[in-house]
């Protein structure tokens, strides 16, 4: 009966046709309304996905257009915009002058610009054998970021491979011709050398694993031995002509280490004898060399920051510190990069003698308000023109790190500082058990962090103590491979150890009087020199110190966004790139006993005149300078047989000689 009632009820209450139509209309309206409400819901993830998709689509579309257009089209448009023909590339120009391939050429790439590939990995890296983990498209970074970080990290105790992981440098010219698709490193220089007859038989890329300490590249990969053998082979197969070596960035320090290693007796050295460099090397043309270190390396080791990252953190506070999609970005990067011992090769060398103290620095007064004009303009303002003297202000560049803008500006007599060196590392930060990413800051505790900030400011001397305090494991490994002082007596037996070989202030150049050494670098770009920091109170799992981007000195100040700038190539200050060739090695000195001729060649930065110029043919930026036509022309002329005197000797736009004279260094 109950079943009959259930079946019967609908029949008795069946509405007329008109009611059915109204019901259908109501349901249709409800569906439309629901659909509209859903369409109005838009999450942050949707926005990010659409933004990334839009950027990628535009990028691939532009890349397609670039590859589809005729090769002559950019030159045609550039000619129409500038009103004149584009200049010939240096290789074409010099080929017309009759220059041909002569001396073999060796490239030595710098940090991060050389490709690295996987030879053995963990389960998460299945299918990646001999695929690039560094360089190329960086596809695996986006697909499996934590796996990528695991494989790019080295052992925190040894600084070598972690168990079950082998990442090795890519070999050949392709190792560093392009960093990523469309982003050249050595490609433009290689192409111009090819125009006068160079090819792989007389060009060699001395690729190495830029993550590990210089001596360990020999211990693990026999890289130094392979460089030695390749240079000897190139000299022997090219009629005995010596090589022209072209190191860039950290590769400058790596090759400095090589020149000592190759002549040192085995087993520590290569056993080539004291005249090996004299027999095999015509010239060393260093590009953007951090001979005396880089202040940027201090901020990188201290808080994994530079100017750009600090600005990003200011726009999105906490975003890079938080666990976003399972990745605490800055903490993971700090853990990874603190296993890369090579980064310690670029810590500032020479202490306060070179970089300045609490109240002085070699640069002293510098005009940060000078504006650079574009490359097709006829006049380019010098950063220290006499008419701009009124804009120059004294800056305490010697204070590499200051906690607070007022601390950075006060005279040392008014500073109240507490010594952190004897401070005990106290209670752990609260709730650190919930932090997934380990950094050494978690072991410092509240008292240790407070001791660092109470010291107020740090010069090049005290920065070393600071890094030993906040990163003891890193600095313990680094102390076995690198040194940062100034030698009192270079005849002391201790300086025969490899830890001193990459510091030009604690070693001597080879006895090769016919060899030439060039320091070639960009100028005219604000370059990081010192930093204003602040304590990050929300530091349970975060890095407790960060650059204070609110610290700003005004329109004409050298202080912008917590960073004091000076003249340089955007990465290497002029002082570091130019001092050794301007003074330390100039003539016969205790660092240059055979009187190797040295030259400073500066390239005044000019931004590209239009978008079709790409990264510019007159750029002085740290990597973009490898596409600078003037620099490429200098290199080709020397490779073809010219000397530094044939190039005109020094070419200087900065005050490097004046600054060098202010440094009281025993020569």
Among 321, 622, 650, 660, the active-site one is 622
CA dist., res. 619 & res. 612, Å (int): 14
CA-based max dimension of the chain:
118
479-501 exposure pattern, b = at least 16 Cβ within 10 A, e = fewer:
eebbbbebbeeeeeeebeebbbb
CA dist., res. 477 & res. 339, Å (int): 9
Q: Is 318 left (phi over 0), alpha (psi -120 to 50) or beta?
A: left
Does residue 39 have an active-site annotation?
A: no
Residue 635 CA, chain-centre distance (Å), reads 23
Does residue 249 have an active-site annotation?
A: yes
CA dist., res. 132 & res. 115, Å (int): 7
CA dist., res. 620 & res. 637, Å (int): 20
CA dist., res. 466 & res. 301, Å (int): 11
Place of tokens 């917590």: 562
Half-sphere exposure (CA, 13 Å, Cβ side) for 499? 16
3-state DSSP call for residue 132? strand
Phi, psi angles (nearest 5°) of residue 646 = -65, -30
Structure tokens at 75: 């030159």
CA dist., res. 426 & res. 120, Å (int): 41
54-65 exposure pattern, b = at least 16 Cβ within 10 A, e = fewer:
eeeeeeeeeeee
Return the CA Rg of the chain: 29
Peptide bond into 329 cis (omega under 30): no
* CB of 273 closer than 8 Å to CB of 560: no
Structure tokens at 279: 């027999």
- The DSSP secondary structure of 418-486, one letter per residue, reads ---TT----SPPTTGGG--S--GGGGTHHHHHHHHHHT-EE-HHHHHHHHHHH-HHHHHHHHTT---S-
CA dist., res. 253 & res. 264, Å (int): 17
Number of Cβ within 10 Å of residue 560's Cβ equals: 18
Does residue 569 have an active-site annotation?
A: yes
β-pairing verdict for 401-403 and 457-458: antiparallel
Among 249, 299, 382, 462, the active-site one is 249
Residue among 164, 101, 170, 106 at smallest CA distance from 134: 170
* CB of 327 closer than 8 Å to CB of 561: no
* CB of 541 closer than 8 Å to CB of 434: yes
CA dist., res. 613 & res. 597, Å (int): 35
Question: Looking at residue 652, what DSSP letter applies?
Answer: -
Interhelix angle for 472-479 vs 460-470, to 10°? 120
Residue among 662, 647, 660, 641 at smallest CA distance from 239: 641
Structure tokens at 180: 């990523």
Among 569, 634, 650, 655, the active-site one is 569
Catalytic residues: 249, 569, 622
């Amino acid at each position: 009966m109950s079943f009959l009632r259930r079946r019967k009820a609908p029949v008795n209450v069946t509405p007329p046709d008109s009611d059915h139509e109204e019901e259908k209309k109501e349901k249709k309206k409800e569906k439309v309304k629901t659909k509209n409400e859903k369409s109005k819901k838009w999450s942050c993830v949707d926005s990010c996905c659409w933004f990334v998709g839009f950027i990628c689509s535009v990028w691939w579309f532009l890349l397609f257009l670039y590859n589809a257009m005729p090769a002559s089209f950019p030159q045609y448009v550039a000619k129409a915009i500038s009103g004149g023909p584009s200049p010939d590339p240096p290789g074409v120009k010099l080929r017309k002058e009759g220059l041909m391939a002569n001396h073999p050429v060796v490239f030595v790439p710098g940090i991060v610009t050389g490709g690295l590939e996987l030879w053995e990995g963990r389960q998460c890296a299945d299918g990646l054998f001999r695929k690039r983990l560094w360089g190329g498209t960086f596809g695996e970074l986006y697909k499996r970021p934590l796996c990528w970080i695991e494989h790019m990290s080295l052992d925190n105790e040894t600084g070598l491979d972690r168990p079950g992981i082998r990442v090795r440098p890519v070999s050949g010219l392709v190792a560093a011709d392009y960093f990523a698709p469309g982003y050249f490193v050595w490609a433009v220089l290689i192409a111009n050398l090819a125009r006068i007859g160079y090819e792989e038989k007389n060009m060699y890329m001395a690729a190495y694993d830029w993550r590990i300490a210089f001596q360990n590249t020999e211990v693990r990969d026999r890289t130094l031995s392979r460089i030695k053998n390749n240079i000897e082979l190139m000299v022997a197969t090219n009629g005995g002509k010596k090589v022209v070596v072209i190191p860039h960035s950290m590769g400058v320090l790596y090759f400095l280490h090589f020149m000592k290693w190759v002549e040192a007796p085995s087993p520590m050295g290569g056993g080539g004898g004291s005249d090996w460099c004299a027999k095999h090397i015509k010239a060393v043309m260093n590009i953007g060399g951090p001979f005396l270190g880089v202040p940027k390396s201090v901020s990188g080791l201290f808080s994994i920051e530079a100017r750009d990252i600090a600005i990003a953190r200011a726009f999105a506070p906490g975003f890079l510190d938080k666990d976003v999609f399972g990745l605490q970005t800055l903490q993971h990067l700090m853990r990874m990069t603190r296993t890369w011992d090579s980064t310690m090769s670029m810590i500032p060398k020479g202490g306060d003698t070179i970089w300045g103290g609490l109240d002085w620095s070699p640069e002293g007064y510098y005009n940060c308000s000078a504006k650079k004009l574009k490359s097709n303009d006829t006049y380019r303002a010098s950063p220290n023109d006499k008419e701009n003297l009124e804009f120059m202000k004294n800056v305490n560049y010697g204070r590499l790190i200051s906690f607070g803008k007022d601390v950075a500006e006060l005279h040392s007599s008014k500073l109240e500082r507490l010594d952190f060196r004897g401070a005990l590392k106290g209670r752990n930060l609260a709730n650190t058990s919930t932090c997934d990413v380990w950094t050494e800051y978690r072991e410092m505790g509240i008292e240790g962090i407070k001791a660092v900030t109470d010291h107020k400011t740090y010069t090049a001397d005290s920065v070393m103590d600071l890094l030993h305090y906040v990163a003891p494991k890193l600095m313990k490994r680094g102390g076995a491979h690198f040194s940062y002082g100034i030698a009192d007596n270079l005849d002391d037996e201790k300086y025969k150890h490899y830890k001193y070989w990459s510091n030009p202030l604690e070693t001597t150049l080879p006895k090769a009087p016919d060899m030439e050494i060039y320091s070639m670098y960009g100028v005219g770009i604000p370059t990081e020199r010192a930093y204003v920091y602040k304590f990050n109170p929300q530091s349970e799992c975060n890095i407790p110190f960060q650059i204070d981007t609110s610290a700003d000195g005004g329109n004409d100040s050298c202080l912008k966004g917590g960073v004091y700038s000076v003249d340089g190539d955007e990465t290497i200050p002029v002082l570091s790139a130019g001092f050794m060739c301007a003074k330390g090695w100039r003539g016969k000195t205790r660092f240059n006993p055979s009187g190797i001729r040295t030259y400073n060649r500066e390239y005044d930065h000019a931004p590209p005149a239009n978008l079709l110029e790409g990264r510019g043919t007159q750029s002085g930026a740290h990597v973009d300078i490898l596409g600078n036509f003037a620099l490429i022309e200098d290199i080709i002329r020397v490779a073809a047989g010219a000397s530094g005197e044939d190039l005109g000797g020094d070419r200087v736009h900065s005050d490097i000689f004046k600054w060098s004279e202010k440094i009281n260094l025993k020569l």
